[in-house]
Structure 1
Amino acid sequence: MQLEDYLEFLAPDDIRIKGHRIGIDNVINYYLQGYSPEEILSELPTLSLEKIHAAITYYLHNRAEMDAYMLRLAKWQEQHYQESLSAEPSPVIKRLKQWKIEREKEMLNHL
């Protein structure tokens, strides 16, 4: 079996563990933080130890490309996070914030 048999290459910047919605980046992030494969399994219990080992081995065999992949992914995530901070809140969020303000006023009036 090839290492690639454990992975789904959905797009250049979207590599998933086959049969899961979990990205290879999730496994690699834990690995780079010093987690053992068994500790990664406890964090991502829907994976098998075999798939975790395959993801780590794929990373180690393709380190330069995977480091570039991880960097692109981190930049993309940061960009989307920054965009979400500057975006207009959804109507639901607006209603919840208004409800919270009204609730706090009511509580203060009852004191």
Structure 2
Amino acid sequence: MQLEDYFDFQRPDDIRLKGTRVGIETILYEYIHRARTPEEISNIYTSLTLEQVYATILYYLHNKEAVSNYIADWLEWSHRMQEEQRRNPPPVVIKLKKLIAEREAIKKAQENDSQISAG
């Protein structure tokens, strides 16, 4: 089996482990940026085998410059999407934030009432 046989090269910016929806960036982020071992990564992503995790790391080591650029592009895109969601949150997020704020207000009012009753 060739190393590339472990992957599904959908687009230049979308490389996934064959037979999964997991992109190589998921594994490599854990490995590079969170310093997790292959065993830890395999335990976190239970749909992956340890062999798939090692194959991804080996692919990275064999193609370090290209894969590093791939990861940098992915991180940049992720940050842009997070900022976009922060500026324009989906309606469900707005509704959840409103509910959380209402519950916090009720909780504070109840705490104030209990302090007044105790004092």
Q: TM-score, normalised by structure 1?
A: 0.82
Please, what is the CA RMSD of the aligned residues?
2.2
Higher relative contact order (CA closer than 8 Å, sequence separation 6+): 1
CA distance in 2, matches of 1:29, 1:92: 28
CA distance in 2, matches of 1:98, 1:9: 42
Residue 34 of structure 1 pairs with residue 35 of structure 2: yes
Unpaired runs of 5+ residues, structure 1, are: none
How many Å apart are 1:68 and its aligned residue?
A: 0.5
**4+ residue stretches of structure 1 with deviation over 6 A?**
none
CA distance in 2, matches of 1:95, 1:62: 45
CA distance in 2, matches of 1:39, 1:104: 37
Report 1:96-107 matches (<5 A): 96-103=96-103
In 2 relative to 1, CA 57–91 (structure 1 residues): closer, same or farther, beyond 3 Å? closer
In 2 relative to 1, CA 21–106 (structure 1 residues): closer, same or farther, beyond 3 Å? same
Q: Percent identity?
A: 39
Q: Which has the larger radius of gyration?
A: 2
CA distance in 2, matches of 1:72, 1:22: 17
1:16 corresponds to: 16
Unpaired runs of 5+ residues, structure 2, are: 114-119
Which amino acid in structure 1 is aligned with residue 43 of structure 2? S
Q: TM-score, normalised by structure 2?
A: 0.77
CA distance in 2, matches of 1:34, 1:99: 37
Aligned residue pairs total 110
